[in-house]
Each structure stands twice: as structure tokens, then as C-alpha cells.
Chains A and B, each alone.
Chain A
């Protein structure tokens, strides 16, 4: 057995049983820190961030605490754009280079290099393979397994999605508004002139004809009918158009989807697209704080459990570590650091995957929410449909993403039965071929026959997939249809033994 060596700058030979116990306790400490839901304390995070900048050789930043990672991303991106415009003016605003400058990932690199990366390099050099592997498994891997699904991945994806949603909406609004402004003058004026002329002509003609007719016939009814009809015809379209335009403008102005664009317009009126571009790239300035704590679980274990206290990295690392304990996601910029509060709650299932069937899985104190089932992130509308447990088979089959479709099937198990599907064939491998005929779904899809395969996945989930009706009609065997879907011949499929 390799001899276990412990010194302030060296750890070799694996880990002892006592250390294994301590590492478990250490990992649990970091799991608690990562899953924290108590409010952030500005009096602790602000000096921690200032120290992080200081040990990285950067000037003291303005530190702002915000309620959610979404706000951090949006505010961070917009602030970076404003700082860039102040320093460089708007002449370069439209270029990618300016966007790169404005997002300033150099600050991220500087702080990371000076603290986290440096500590990793130092601890890596001080441990041998056996000690490294055992410590990392007991800390990083254990912490990661217990928290990552619920924090890092979820938050990362959600922030990305939310930022994209916000900027996409804003970009759409921007392009719509720009196109509208550019074309309105040309089309509106021309249309108005043509309409005016036509209206004038029609009104004149109609009034003349009506008046003439009325005069001639001297009938009140004719005069009224003619004038009313003509006036109505001439004014209704215009009134309707005006009402429509006013309603659209009011709806546009009131729409919550465009609040970000309105904010960008107000703060950077001459560089709107540039600012939206910087917001979109704000992830480049992002550090995870406590939600990246898996790594800190490992690094600090080298110091606190293995005893590598003599390495030269710890003083600088302490600033990084403190930020990982006292704050969540942050946006790093040479002029400012925007730090997010911790979530108000995180709900997970027994496997510690983000999950909640009765509401959001995550919520921050500003109301930003994420929805998950079995670890799968869902838009709120999709989550609502699935958890209603009232989805029809047609609705489930319309879901494009196979994982989400499987989830919908799991939560709506009656859908297949309610679709009046008939089991045509079931194989020893568990593949089942179904046929639906003469139902509302057939009429809706204009398909007299709807064939589908129901199968079990080695991950434990059930999937349903459509089968080409022309093929299934000629080959009504579940395994034959499955083989074709996989691109195999039936005999190859029979030979297939490795399935994961």
C-alpha cells in the first residue's frame, strides 16, 4: 500500500478513513451553502467582492446587489454597454469589437486566474493522483451530484433562456419598429393619398347622386339611406383603421415584453441595438458564486482536510471563497460588480433534481421563477399543460422534444387509452405498436390511420413515437417498425444487444 504523506505543501498516497469522514462533512457544508435560500447580506458580500478585485490587481468596483440572476444579467449587460459608450462614444457602437470590449470578459479572466485557477494549480501540484482523485471524488463530485441539477445547470440554462427571450423580444420589437418607421412614410402617405382620393370621389359621387336622387324623388328615406350609406362607407374603414392603430400602439406600449427595449431606448437612445447585443453577451462576464461551489468544495478540502495550508495560493483564494459563500451569481466588470441574491426557494425530488408538480421549482425574491419536472426545465405554459394531467394524446404527440414528450406521457398516462388506441403488436423487447382509427384525432390530422410505437427506455422512461402509416400497414410488427426507426434491418435489430 502506498504510504500516505501529509505536509503543509504536499499530500500523497490517497486519503485516510478519517479524512474520508471529514470530506463527507466538508461536502455537506458546501451542499448547504450551494442550496442556500436565506437572503444575501450586502454588508458581507460587498467587502468580499471588493477584496476579490483587490487581490486580482483591479481597482475597487461599484458593487450592486440585485434580487435575481436575471436582473444581474440584464442590468450587467446594459451597464457594460453604457460604460463602453461613455468611454468610447457611439461611433464604434455597431461593431462586434465594441460589443466584445463592452462585455469585458477580461475582468472575469483576471479574477479567475488570480484566485480560483491559481489555487487549483497549486493544489493539483501538491497532491499525487491517488490523493487528488479521492479528494475530488469525495468533495467536488459528491457536492456536484447533490446540487448541480438544482442550481448550476438550471440557473445557467434559465438565465440564458430568459436573456434570450428578453433580447429576442426586444430585437423583434426593434426590427419591427425600425421597419415600420422606415416604410410607414412611404406606404402610409401613398395609401392615405389614394384613400383620400377614393374616399373623396366616392363621397362626392355618392352625396351628389343621393342628393340628386333625393331632390328628384324628394324622399327622405332615399336621402337618408344614400347619405348614411355613403358616409358610413367612407368613414368606417378610416375609423376602424385609426382605432386599430391606436389600439396596437397602446398595446405595444403597455406590453410587458417590451419593457427591456423601452429601458434600453431610455438609457442608450443612440445605440439601442448595440446595447441589446451587449446584454445578450453578458454571460461572458458571469461567475456562479455559491452555485459554482462544487469546485470550492474540492479546493477548500485540500486546505482544511488534507492540510495543504502551506501553499501560497490561499490568501488570494480566500477572497474568491468568501464570494462563493456570501453571494450567488455575479456579473464582473472593471467598473462594477452586480451580485444576485440567493433563490427564495429551490424544490427538488428525491434524486435532488429540480422538480415541483404544484408550482415553480425555483423562485427568486423579485418573482423570477423556473419550472421543472424530473429535472427537465419547462416553460411555464408547458409545465401547466403537463401537470394539468388532462393532455390529449394529440397534444402530447405535437410536442417536438422527445424528453418533454416522454414527461407529458408520464404525467398524462390516460392519454393513450383515451385516444381509443388499439394494441396491434407487442414484442419481447417491450416495443408496442398501436393504431388509432376513426377518432377526432384522425379527423383533425386528416389521417385515417395513426400508428405509433410505445417503448421503454433504459433510463426508465416511456416514449411514444409516430410510425409512417404506409410502412406500418405493410409491416405491423413493433420490432420491425423500431428497427426501421433506428436505421437497422430487422435481423440487425434482433442482434443488437448493447442498448444504453
Chain B
């Protein structure tokens, strides 16, 4: 993907990284569709949510995979919101296109492994 296109569409929303991609990988299947879909789960309910006013958003996940890995199809300009009443990440516009949604990782020195950042 060209740098300008990446720059225009990529969004970091707290620990959630929304990365534009040109096409979906072959091993994914449709998991969910709707006007509001959670793209970053929070244990305390402060989810990161993609919201579209008029057209459904579609979530894809790897076939048979039990992972948080997620791909998102956006057909009309949507937005990503943070469901938190304080210390809230700003709402950002989500341009039409395909995305890979990744949750940030950190190294857990107590568990001796890479782990997703949780909040």
C-alpha cells in the first residue's frame, strides 16, 4: 500500500491499531455485520466500537481460529468511538476500505511472554 493511502486511513485508537489493507487474506470468514461492531474488547466495558450511520460494517475472522484477530470492511465513511465516560480516546473518522484491526502488545516480564494490552 502506498504511504499516502496508509497515512490517510490508518488509525491508532488507544491500544487498538486499525491498519488499512488492500485485500482480505484467503482464510477468513464473515463473523458479524451491523451498524455498531466492537473492534477492541475491553474487560472493563470500555470497548472501541466502529459505528456506521447508514451501511452495515462487516467483521471477518480467521476460519476456525479462536483468536481476537479481526478484519473490518467499511463501505461508507464511519467512525471509531471509545465507550468510556472519561480518559476517552477521541472519535476518529474511518474511511471506506478494508482493515486489519490489531490490539497492541507488550512483553509481560512476569509471564515471560508477549501479551495483548488490556484495559
**A residues near B, CB below 8 A?**
148-149, 153, 157, 351, 353, 374-376, 397-398, 400-403, 445, 447, 450-451, 457-461, 465-469, 485-488, 491-492, 495-500
Contacts and interface: CB of A to CB of B under 8 A. Distances in A.
Contacts of A374: 86-87
B12 A375 contact: no
Contact of B12 (A447, A466, A500): A500
Interface residues of B, number: 37
Interface of B: 3, 6-7, 10-15, 17, 19, 43-46, 80, 82, 85-92, 102, 104-110, 114, 117-119
Contact of B105 (A351, A451, A487): A487
Given A401-B43, A445-B110, A466-B106, A500 B91 contact: yes
B84 to A, nearest CB: 9
Contacts of B14: 457, 459, 500
Contact of A461 (B46, B87, B102): B87
Contacts, number: 103
Contacts of B44: 157, 401, 403
B7 A375 contact: no
Contact of B17 (A458, A467, A486): A486
Describe A's contact surface by its main secondary structure: mixed
23 contacts: A148-B85, A157-B45, A351-B86, A353-B86, A374-B86, A375-B85, A375-B86, A401-B119, A402-B119, A403-B119, A445-B109, A447-B109, A458-B89, A459-B88, A459-B89, A466-B109, A468-B107, A468-B114, A485-B106, A486-B17, A497-B10, A498-B11, A500-B89
B41 to A, nearest CB: 13
Contact of B117 (A376, A402, A491, A495): A402
Contacts of B119: 401-403
A496 B15 contact: no
Nearest to A445: B109
Nearest to A403: B119
Contacts of B80: 500
B117 A496 contact: no
Given A401-B119, A496-B10, A149 B86 contact: yes
Contacts of A495: 3, 6-7, 10
B87 A403 contact: yes
A468 B106 CA distance: 8
